[in-house]
Structure 1
Amino acid sequence: MSLEKTAFAVRENAYAPYSQFKVGAAVLSEGGTIYAGCNVENIAYPEGTCAEAGAIAAMVAAGETKLNEVFVVADSKQPVSPCGGCRQKLAEFGGADTKVTLANLDGARVEMTMAELLPGAFGKDHLGDGHADRD
């Protein structure tokens, strides 16, 4: 299944009884595997998780820590954009040139790089000497 089809399919499994805003995300790992995630809401609102975080968690749980591409979809007027926290999470595992596709159910798409999605991202280089080489 393609990255796009995976994101669309997993979106259907989102647990969004409060917002009714279902989001699906798929990441393509450096190893060539696609991992999927959907948003999971909770009655204690801050305790929910985003689709992008779920896809990243699945990738890491499988033993991979680098992603090469991202696809995010939701039923929104314009292509859905990851929240700030998810942008930082994606930047942790992707590079500046990682392809990110944002989509809605009506067929609109926006393609960009991770650097365009999160310019000036906080990264390992900000930690100073002795930290930048940690993985």
Structure 2
Amino acid sequence: MTLNEKEILDYIDEINLLLEKAYVPYSKFPVAALLIDNNGKKHKGVNVENASFGLTLCAERNAITTAVTENMKKIKVLIVTGKTPEPISPCGACRQVIREFSDKDTVIILTNKDKKYKITSLEELLPYSFGAEDL
């Protein structure tokens, strides 16, 4: 999927508004994700922390699991943002889950509250990755 500059910045504006919905009483580190699936439908997620830190759910996995419940098969575009000085980067667990629902054509945009962004690919995020074809 090809996005022009205006579309990218519009999506970044939309996702940055989600940062205020993140439940982050412990880390104070809000993250939001927006994905567009193979059907062109948008799905959103924010990180949701838990006092038992291992049970915290990242924004990317939150958006992906929500999308799966609505019949998403593949991610066309994934945008992730945070209140960071540079474009945010997904954690390792999120990269693996992103891998499960992405392909070589998936567009991944990492951004921040100031609209600084980097367009990347799954291969750049998770080189030499493990997937279903490896089973």
**What is the TM-score with the length of structure 1 in the denominator?**
0.88
Contact 1:39 1:50 in 2 (8 A): yes
Partner of residue 83 from structure 2, selected from 59, 62, 75: 75
The structural deviation recorded for 1:104 is: 1.0
* Secondary structure of the corresponding residue to residue 12 of structure 1: helix
User: Structure 1: which 5+ runs fail to align?
Assistant: 128-135
More helix by share: 2
Matched, 1:30 2:16: no
In the alignment, which of 76, 89, 96 is matched to residue 104 of structure 2?
A: 96
Question: Contact 1:53/1:89 (CA < 8 Å) preserved in 2?
Answer: yes
Percent of pairs identical after alignment? 35
Q: Which has the higher contact order (CA 8 A, sep 6+)?
A: 2
Displacement of 1:3 in angstroms is 3.5
1:64 aligns with 2:51: no
Find the partner of 2:23 among 15, 22, 41. 15
Residues 38 and 75, structure 2, Cα contact 8 Å, conserved in 1:
yes
Contact preservation (8 Å) 2:12, 2:111: no
- Aligned residue pairs: how many? 127
Q: Is the 8 A contact 1:37 1:51 kept in 2?
A: yes
How far residue 98 of structure 1 moved from its aligned partner, in angstroms, is 1.0
Give the C-alpha shift of residue 112 in structure 1. 0.7
Structure whose alpha-carbon radius of gyration is higher: 1
With normalisation by structure 2, the TM-score equals 0.88
Classify the secondary structure of the residue corresponding to 2:65: helix
Cα root mean square deviation, aligned: 1.4
Deviation track 1:46-91 (CA, whole Å, cap 9, x = no partner) reads 1110000010011011122211010000001211000001001011
Uncovered stretches (5+) of structure 2, i.e. residues with no partner:
1-6
